[in-house]
Each structure stands twice: as C-alpha cells, then as structure tokens.
Structure 1
C-alpha cells in the first residue's frame, strides 16, 4: 500500500471537528470538563497537520476509559507546594485537563519569580506536548515539558524495553510572530508514527526498532511488539533517561516500566506524570536578550533551514482557510463507535 491518499480526505471546520470529538467523548461517559480539554487538544493537532496526535487518537480513548482505574469524573485542582512549585493530581483521568487547569498559576508564578514548575501526577496521557508550551510562550515565557510513557524503548546498546518514548517540548516567545516550538519523542520516531506505517502497509526505515528477539527490524508490527530505539544512539538514550528521572521519580510519579505495569494489559494510554517548567526572560533584566534570540532564529531561517513549528503553522493557516482535513475512513470509524449519531459527512 502506498502512503496517505489525500483524495480520501473529507474537510470539516474546526468547530465541526471539536463538536465531533466532544460528542464522541461525552457519549462514552467522559465528564464535560475532561471532554472539552481533550477535544481541544486533539483538534489543535489535527488542524496543524499533526495527524498522529490528532483525531486518530479518539477511538483509542475508549480503551483508556475502559481501564478499571480510569476516572471519568476527575476534577483536578492545582495545589501550591512552594511559590515556585505547583502540583496538580489528574485523579486518574486524562492528564490534559490537569495541565490546562495548572497553567494559569504556573504562568503567574513564573512571571513573578522568573521560574516556576508544574507537576502533573496520576494522569492518563495521550496528547502532544506542544499545545501546552505554545500557550505558555504566548504569555511571553519560555517553557519546557516532558513525560515518560510505557517501557517500549530499548536503551542504546540494549535489546529490551525499559525507557519510554519520553517526549520533550520547548517553546520560546517571539514578539511579532508565533513562538519557536519543538516537540519530539526521544525515539527515532514517535510510536504513533510507527502505527501509521503499520496501518498504511509501509516498511520502516532502518534503525527505528527491534523485534521481540532484539534483532533490528523494519516491520512496524514487529517493532511495536518488540522495542523501539532512541534517536542518536547513546545521546538520545541519555536524554530519554533524564526525562525518565525528572518526570518520574523527581515529581513522585511512575517510571515508564511502572506505567506499563499499571496498565495490566488494558491497552490504555500510559498513566504517569508530566513536568512543565516556565521561565521568564524579562526577570533576568537583559533587555538585549530578545534581539539576540531573534538574530539566532532569523539566522537559521536566512540559510534556508526550516525552523521547527513552521510546517505546523503553515498547516494551521491552510486549515483556517480551507477547513481541517480528516481521512474519510477515520471519520467513518469515529461515527461507527458513537450510538445513534447522525452522519456528519459534508
């Protein structure tokens, strides 16, 4: 099978996409606050061309909500540990609502103190990190976010999973244009991207993963059943380990292996913590810092190199003008999982 056929897409508005996601989640009994937060984040990813983290993840939320510990009525509230440290327990619901509710306090404290930390605990996590750090950067702050996942990843030189895909996101504010933002897994590819290769019948590039026996493989199904590999060999492995420690033991939450053990074969999203850090460059009083940052970023672009996030912003503009593209088969599958739902085909 070839890659994605754009002729098989339908086009819907952002409002229609949000209503579709919200209806789906509420129909499965998810509380409105959680449903709205999840729908907003998934639609942002779909709108910005991040298909692996968009509405493709909607059917899988049913598996997560079927976990015996999942809390459809979770109502997380932020707690100030110190002026610079905020904790919010997701209450075994989706972590996206907890992160959303913790951001206003995180932003306010970072603006005042120069730096603040938000620890999200006990959340089922299945969304991209960049919407969170982008929102922080839009408030004039720099930001980082990271989390473990499940132990799907073998360390460099190893053969069995012990680390997570352990994504890292960073955002830097810019005055007259969208923030500089990157968000990537510390693996050679995101797990959702490998699943896309499997669904589309494509072979993986070499170096993405191992089969169950620890041998290199380009079969996406074999890699999903075996172990993924970090990018950059020992460097990606070390970065993944740092994230494992900082967003796990440091904030009193689970490692990737502990998250996988908690799943108990339920095929739910990983249950773990998320560490979000916000920094205020203005507090350091270096008024030339913003200009210097722009010199760096513009210098990259002036060489013809692409800044991370530019493709996402281009897709966002395209979606605003033409609507959000959604594979027809995915749209049909979402509708088929919803009871007595009228067709939304355009």
Structure 2
C-alpha cells in the first residue's frame, strides 16, 4: 500500500461528490461542497479541504446535515438575498445565489447575501475569493458552536468566528485575508490532538481557565482570542453579523458540529461591493499599492499566491494520505 494517492482536480471533485451522494446528499449540494473542498486543497489549505470533508460525511450519516435539503432563497429588497439552508450546507445556497449576488452588487454597487440554519461553512475564503474573481470586493463572516472564550470569560461563548476579505487586482490575482478571531483555528487544535503533539500555551485554556499545551485539555476548555480582548471584540462583531443579522443560531445555542444529530444552525454573512462605482481604476491602484508594500517595505500581502498555488496544484495534482482517501471512499449510509 502506498502512503498517498495523487488525484487530478477533477478526480478529486468526483471522489468528494460521489462520497457525499453515497451518504444521502443531493447532487447539486454535493457538487457545490465538492468544488469548495477541492478549491481549499488547491489553495494549500488541506485542514479545511478533504480532512474537513470527513466531518461533513459523518454529519450526513449521523443526521447533523439534512442531505436532501433545498435552500430557500428570497429577496426582500433588490440588494439583499436571504438563504435558509434548511439544515443543509451553506456552499449549496451560495452556489445557487452567486451569479445573482454578483449581478446585484454590480447594479447597485452593494449587495448582501445571508445564510441561516446551516452546517459549518468550510473555508471562508472560498466565498470571498469567488466574488473577487467577479471583480468585487467582499467581506464574509460566519460563526460556529461556542469554542472561544470572550473578554473576561474563561468559558466558551463564541465560535472561532472568522472573517474573510477579498479584493481584485488587475493582474488576475486577488488580495485575500481569511482568519479566525481565535489565536488559532479549531482544526489546528484537532490536528495536534490527532498527532498527540503539544500546542502553544497561548492558543487555549483548560476547563479551569488555565493556559494549556495539551490539545485534549484545550478541546475540553476554550480557545483564546488573538490579541486578548481586542480579538474577543472582533469575535463579538462577527457574531452579530453572522448570527444576529442572518437569524442563525448564536454560538452559545449552536449544536456541536461533530456530535449529536442536530444541525449547528449557524449563519453566514456576505457583503459584496462593486469597486468601480466607488473609485476609478481600483484593481490597478490596489495592485500598485500591494506591490509597493511588498517590494519597498517587505510586507506580506495575503492571497497573492493563491492563484499560483492553484495552478501548480492543478498541474501536479492533489495528494491525499492513503488513510484519508480510504476513509472517504468507505463512507456509506447506515
């Protein structure tokens, strides 16, 4: 047995889509989630790629995701699209609404898309990058079940509550920021636990609120916010956007995405802006500024290597550990 399997992007999409449909997900939702999964891998983010796909597969089997759900999309006013995921996945609703959302943003200069009653949203940068590829500036926020301590709290009250921001350059690249409000993403804690490796003592606290290097104690305690109370305030801001404005569950009320048979029911907030209606030659101005920061001031500009990574991975293929490939291939409905 080899240690890894190398798949073309299309083979990887087929693997994900087939596995999802085998455990009861409708084809359109499976195709959307498969696309988002492969894009995460191509972008060099395997923790929210095929490793995370196993969470979706288990949740379909256990009932945390409604595999047959059809998103209900409404537009109460021209510049707003609302999606009730109906216990399904946000990627499905976004894929359905993406073209209309982009069109509305280009027509009105601004448009908002929201999702409620969803499972975890996967790679948040995927949503923002999709819109940036349409020439739009995007701000995206989501929440999850409570794993992050708030300012002054020792216990989890927020999700990791990430924010993603993307803007188009004029050279085909994008600026993309995708980061959680926590000092690290939950998937990194889980990965350390799987490897039985310690974590930095700034990442989490145990059940008694003490800093810990034990990833298992961290999962029983709470993650800490980046920058202390400032990061916790960002998490609260994300909570208001992603749960408050969308009608999704607050993180304190959301079910664990890894246990039980209830959907987390969380939210997704997407703001899309048409930059050409605000400032002339925005993509060119952004490109020059990003290049100046990078070249003259040695500033790391996030997202600039995303397209390069994707092109390289499309040529070299996606390499999955054999155990992960076998696990995904073996999922079946009970």
Output the TM-score relative to the length of structure 2. Answer: 0.93
Asked whether 1:293 is paired with 2:286, we answer: yes
- Matched residue SS, 1:278: strand
Q: Matches of 1:133 and 1:307 in 2, distance apart? A: 16
- 8 Å contact from structure 1 (residues 319, 325) kept in 2: no
Of residues 265, 274, 283, the one that matches 2:277 is: 283
Residue 343 (structure 1) aligns with: none
Q: Secondary structure at the match of 1:181?
A: strand
Contact 1:115 1:278 (8 Å CA) reproduced: yes
Query: What is the alpha-carbon distance in structure 2 between the residues aligned to residue 287 and residue 98 of structure 1?
Result: 32
Match of 1:118 among 113, 119, 123: 113
Deviations 1:173-218 (A, max 9, x none): 1121211111111111111111111112221112100111211101
- Give the secondary-structure state (helix, strand or coil) at the position aligned to 1:276: strand
Which residue does the alignment assign to 1:104? Answer: 99
Aligned residues: 331
Q: 1:269 to 1:244 in 2, by over 3 A?
A: same
**Change in 2 beyond 3 A, CA 1:48/1:289:** closer
Structure 2 SS opposite 1:308: coil
Give per-residue Cα distances to partners, 1:285-321, cap 9 Å, x unaligned: x325444322321122213333212344343232122
* 2:314 is the counterpart of 1:317: no
Q: Which residue of 2 aligns with 1:80?
A: 75
CA RMSD of aligned residues (A): 2.1
Contact 2:137-2:165 within 8 A present in 1 as well: yes
Q: Detail structure 1 runs of 4+ shifted over 6 Å in the superposition.
A: none
198-207 vs 19-28, greater mean Cα deviation: 198-207
Structure 1 unaligned blocks of 5 or more: 1-6, 340-346
- 1:61 aligned partner: 56
Alignment of 1:58-207 (within 5 A): 58-68=53-63, 70-207=65-202
Gaps of 5+ in 2: none
* 1:271 shift after superposition: 2.2
Q: Specify whether residues 338 and 283 from structure 1 end up closer, same or farther in structure 2 by C-alpha distance, changes over 3 A only.
A: same
Cα deviation per residue 1:87-138 (whole Å; 9 max; x = unaligned)?
A: 1111111111011112212111110111111111111124111111111111
TM-score (norm 1): 0.90
